[in-house]
Structure 1
Amino acid sequence: MQDIIETFRDGLFAGKVIVVTGGTSGIGLAIAQGFARLGGTVVALGSSAAKIAQAGAAAENAGIRFERVDVRDPAAIRTFMGGLDRLDVLVNGAGIARPEAEFEDETFLEVIDVNLVSQMRFAMAARPLLARSKGVILNIASMLSYVSDPVVPAYGASKTGVLGLTRHLAHAFGPEGIRVNAISPGYHKTDMTRALWSDPVPAAKIAERAALKRWGTVDDLVGTALFLASPAAVFVTGADLPVDGGFVVGGV
């Protein structure tokens, strides 16, 4: 990640407060680390006490504060936001997938709640603080906002909804100086995709479709997040930036 960090001015986010949901592992944690290395005061949220303890003990996460907040609990979200004096960047990174099980009503609704509804909850709870700082919301969407996967209908629907939510909030919040953008990751090596990248056959097929002929890493998403939250993107809102190595635009 160091070469990515060196692309940006040292201390770029000094004095800024950044909150990352889904920030105890994977993509969310990598983004949290990126903001912290550029001087940001970062609070990473998660729902697993075990993951919070593990992340908090890791040396590379020094300077990041980890807290347990259930993104499905509106009262807990409001309480957390009420405890902040300042907020400059909100990264909505919490997400789950339940392959095959998402065809069941209860599971479908759970995935929609975590992946989509929670982003609206956090955006609304954060709005007063972000209006004060003229801040930024980054919503994590997915390549499945654009292409289909037959075993995760709720995940695909929720991530498609994230793009719509991003556009609507960009206009709703824009008059207050708040920018709202999305990032659409592709196939990155995380715990969620482990079953695919650890199996040579699907792993090779996925890499072959990507223009860059490889899987993504979580670090590949950090620079995009930092750019969208920086003054360099001051007139960018309502947009989505795919970070998928060219997978979505690849051939069949």
Structure 2
Amino acid sequence: MDEIKATFRPDLYAGKRVLVSGASSGIGLAVARGFRDVGAAVIATGSSEAKLAAARTDGRNEGIRFETLDVRDPAALIAFVGALPGLDVLVNAAGIARPTAEFTDATYLEVIDVNLNSVMRLSMAARPHLAASRGSIINFASMLSYLADATVPAYGASKTGVVGLTRQLAHAFGPEGIRVNAISPGYHRTDMTKALWNDPEPAARIAARSALKRWGEAEDLVGTALFLASPAAAFLTGADLPVDGGYVTG
């Protein structure tokens, strides 16, 4: 993270307000820390009280405000975002995967609700704030927006949908000065992928397909997020940037 902090001005986001969903751990938390490190006032949300409690007591998260938010609850979401005094950046990072179980109707719908529907809900709720600030939305898609995994039909469909929704919202919100982009992570070492990177055979196989011959870390996504919300990306919208070490093209 020190190299990332050295790349961007420490006051790049001074005075800016950032909301990151799914940020009690993993990629969302890394992104929340990244925006905090360059001056932003960051609210990180999650639905697991245990994870939120652990995040609040972790000294590495000093300065980040952690709040409970169930992105499956439209009324709670609208009330939460509506109560904010303003917003400059929305990061939709909430996501779940339920391998094999996604073939059941209930689990399939739950994954779609968290991974895709929440992006629409949060984006619509934040739209007035972002129009006022001429702000930015960053959605987290996945390499499975482009590849198939036979065990996670809902995850793959939802993340493919995130890319499509990003393009649609970029055009819907563009006249209001709101930019909407996506990031597609590859294999990054998080709790969601722990079963793979903890097993030597799949861990080595995945690294070998990557152009950089390694797994990604959650921190590898931070610089891309900071760039996308910055003035350096002022004419970039409706795009999806793969941050996968070259895995998809391997």
What's the TM-score once normalised by structure 1's chain length? 0.99
Q: Distance in 2 between matches of 1:213 and 1:10?
A: 31
Q: Deviations over 1:158-184 (max 9, x none)?
A: 000000000000000000000000000
Q: Which position in structure 2 is the counterpart of 1:239? A: 239
- 1:131-150 equivalences under 5 Å are 131-150=131-150
Q: Secondary structure at the match of 1:9?
A: coil
SS of the equivalent of 1:195 reads: helix
Residue identity in the other structure for 2:149: D
Q: State the shift of 1:248 in Å.
A: 0.1
CA distance in 2, matches of 1:138, 1:32: 12
CA–CA separation in structure 1 for the residues paired with 2:162 and 2:82 = 25
Q: Which runs of 5+ in 1 are unaligned?
A: none
Counterpart of 2:124, as a letter, is M
SS for the counterpart of 2:242 is: strand
Deviations 1:119-153 (A, max 9, x none): 00000000000000000000000000000000000
TM-superposed CA distance for 1:98, in Å, is 0.2
Letter matched to residue 155 of structure 2: Y
In the alignment, residue 36 of structure 1 is paired with which amino acid? R
Per-residue CA deviations over 1:20-77 (Å, capped at 9, x if unaligned) read 0001100000000000010100000000111111001111100000000100001011
Moved more, 6-15 or 179-188: 6-15
Opposite residue 225 of structure 2, the aligned amino acid is A
Return the alpha-carbon distance in structure 1 between the equivalents of residues 36 and 66 of structure 2.
12
Partner SS state of residue 7, structure 2: coil
Within 5 A, what are the aligned runs for 1:48-197? 48-197=48-197
TM-score (norm 2): 1.00
Identity score, percent: 70
- The CA distance in 2 between the partners of 1:99 and 1:10, in whole Å, is 40
Helix, strand or coil for the counterpart of 1:6? helix
Q: Distance in 1 between matches of 2:226 and 2:213?
A: 25
Structure 1 distance, partners of 2:178, 2:172, is 9
CA-CA distance at 1:107 after TM superposition? 0.5
SS state at 2:191 partner? coil
Question: 1:77-113, CA deviations, whole angstroms, 9 ceiling, x for partnerless residues?
Answer: 1111121111000000000000000000110000000
Partner of 2:43: 43
* SS across alignment from 1:42: strand
Q: How many residues align?
A: 250
